[in-house]
């Protein structure tokens, strides 16, 4: 029997369009560095790498034969996806959606937020994106069609739609707040977090589950990125050395997969239920390069605009920033332009700022990069530790910025810790997030 839903009317107090404070109260990770946020964080700050060799025969003739895969198995810090889902459930979703659901469960448990009341469910939204669909799904289904129309799975379309991770999360937990999905290439995860924070700040909702997921590593995807000359090809026999942001021997990025989910919450909502607070989302900036399909603008204007808008949105001064978690994917052009943009933006304050890229450890998760690295930025703020940039031995640019080659370092700051997280995507789309320690 159908039970009618009672629509909760929002008062002017809860719906007022004002800049409410947004904090992070839960995190969840499925990544090449391991399963679980704390496992991945410890691996990162202990200079571990999640990049491995692609040993299957179909990769043998490709220029790039390394990738950052989610570790599979029954061992500690490994993922056995069959222990989370039935076979029938797995038929309805692509691997990226499965990763997102697993990371979401961890994040909600971490935040202690699984509401039963309809009012709370209506006040909880989802903003989770996917950067690229699974090309294997498309190829396999096309081959199935050759055998007959009835061989095409009825779940094919739901599996490849980029918004289905958000949809599945909403359905599983009954969240009826904003249901949103962004797909902006490698800026997807950061845009999802920023958009979610704006929903809360604007009074649309009190809680948002947000982030991104990616699981598109396949021979076709590797081949296609190789044709763009985007991937590393010089370290196939030494996979741990392949991703080397800022290093003069970098030759391209390493594809990665996984998901990272954050629970964002309006501050008073979090305080009322005595939730633990990791940090605060202060600002969010977006921009477009308007320059090239795949290359960043040479003068770094797009990156500068995104950082400037994030800082202005945060209502802080540039001198308050002491750490930047860079987008830096390990491409010769992109890393250099980003450093140029950062130093141009910071000016004389550059000498007081440390820059790091964690992609040396986990590769480039494309649509799940900005959100995974956002969580690492938040944990850096919490613990006062700046994670290392692996394989950084020889910087190839002259700069006043500080770096963290190969080994973590303490984040010494006389005031509260404030950081920026950059994320840039093909098509010239840019995002920057500003995070800080939470102070009452």
Catalytic pick among 180, 269, 327, 362: 327
Q: Between 332-346 and 301-314, two packed helices, what is the crossing angle to 10 degrees?
A: 40
DSSP label of 163: T
Does residue 226 have an active-site annotation? no
Whole-angstrom distance, CA of residue 421 vs CA of residue 431: 8
DSSP for 309-368 reads HHHHHHT--GGG--EEE----S-HHHHHHHHHHHHHHHGGGGGG-EEE-THHHH-B-GGG
Question: Strand pairing of 124-130 and 207-214?
Answer: parallel
Does residue 269 have an active-site annotation? no
Q: Which residues contact 114 (CB under 8 A, 6 or more apart)?
A: 108, 173
Is residue 394 classed as helix, strand or coil in its secondary structure?
A: coil
Is residue 406 classed as helix, strand or coil in its secondary structure?
A: coil
- Give the other-Cβ count within 10 Å of 43's Cβ: 19
Does residue 364 have an active-site annotation? yes
Q: Which residues contact 381 (CB under 8 A, 6 or more apart)?
A: 278, 279, 411, 417, 419, 435, 436, 437
Catalytic pick among 94, 186, 216, 432: 186
Pair 56, 217: CB distance under 8 Å: no
- Give the other-Cβ count within 10 Å of 149's Cβ: 7
Catalytic pick among 180, 364, 432, 434: 364
- Can you read off the two tokens belonging to residue 372? 């995974």
Pair 396, 331: CB distance under 8 Å: no
Residue 89 — φ and ψ, nearest 5°? Answer: -65, -40
Catalogue the active-site residues: 186, 327, 364
């Amino acid at each position: 029997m159908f039970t009618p839903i009672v629509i909760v009317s929002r008062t002017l107090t809860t719906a007022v369009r004002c800049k409410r404070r947004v904090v992070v109260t839960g995190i969840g990770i499925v990544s090449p560095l391991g399963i679980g946020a704390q496992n991945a964080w410890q691996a990162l700050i202990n200079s571990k790498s999640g990049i491995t060799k692609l040993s299957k025969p179909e990769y043998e003739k490709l220029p790039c034969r390394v990738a950052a895969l989610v570790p599979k198995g029954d061992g500690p810090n490994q993922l056995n996806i069959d222990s989370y889902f039935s076979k029938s459930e797995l038929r309805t979703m692509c691997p990226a959606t499965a990763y997102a659901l697993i990371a979401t469960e961890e994040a909600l448990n971490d935040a202690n937020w699984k509401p039963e009341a309809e009012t709370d469910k209506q006040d909880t939204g989802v903003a989770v994106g996917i950067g690229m669909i699974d090309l294997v799904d498309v190829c396999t289904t096309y081959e199935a069609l050759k055998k007959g129309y009835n061989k095409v799975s009825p779940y094919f379309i739901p599996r490849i739609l980029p918004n289905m991770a958000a949809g599945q999360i909403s359905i599983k937990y009954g969240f009826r707040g904003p249901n949103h999905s962004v797909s902006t290439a490698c800026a997807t995860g950061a845009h999802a977090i920023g958009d979610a924070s704006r929903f809360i700040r604007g009074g649309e909702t009190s809680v948002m589950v947000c982030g991104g997921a990616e699981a598109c590593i396949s021979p076709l995807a590797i081949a296609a990125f190789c044709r763009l000359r985007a991937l590393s090809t010089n370290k196939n026999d030494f996979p741990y050395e392949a991703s080397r942001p800022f290093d003069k021997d970098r030759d391209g990025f390493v594809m990665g997969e996984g998901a990272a989910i954050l629970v964002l919450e309006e501050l008073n909502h979090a305080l009322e239920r005595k939730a633990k607070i990791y940090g605060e989302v202060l600002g969010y900036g977006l921009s477009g390069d308007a320059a090239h399909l795949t290359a960043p603008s040479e003068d770094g204007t797009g990156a500068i605009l995104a950082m400037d808008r994030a800082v202005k949105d945060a209502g802080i001064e540039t001198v308050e920033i002491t750490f930047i978690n860079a987008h830096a994917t390990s491409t010769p052009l992109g890393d250099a332009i980003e450093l140029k943009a950062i130093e141009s933006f910071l000016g004389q304050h550059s000498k007081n700022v440390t820059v790091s890229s964690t992609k040396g450890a986990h590769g480039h998760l494309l649509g799940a990069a900005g959100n995974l690295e956002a969580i690492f930025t938040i944990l850096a703020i919490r613990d006062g530790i700046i994670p290392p940039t692996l394989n950084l031995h020889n910087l190839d640019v002259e700069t006043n910025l500080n770096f963290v080659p190969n080994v973590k370092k303490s984040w010494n700051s006389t005031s509260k810790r404030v950081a920026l997280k950059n994320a840039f995507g093909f098509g010239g789309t840019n995002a920057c997030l500003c995070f800080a320690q939470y102070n009452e």
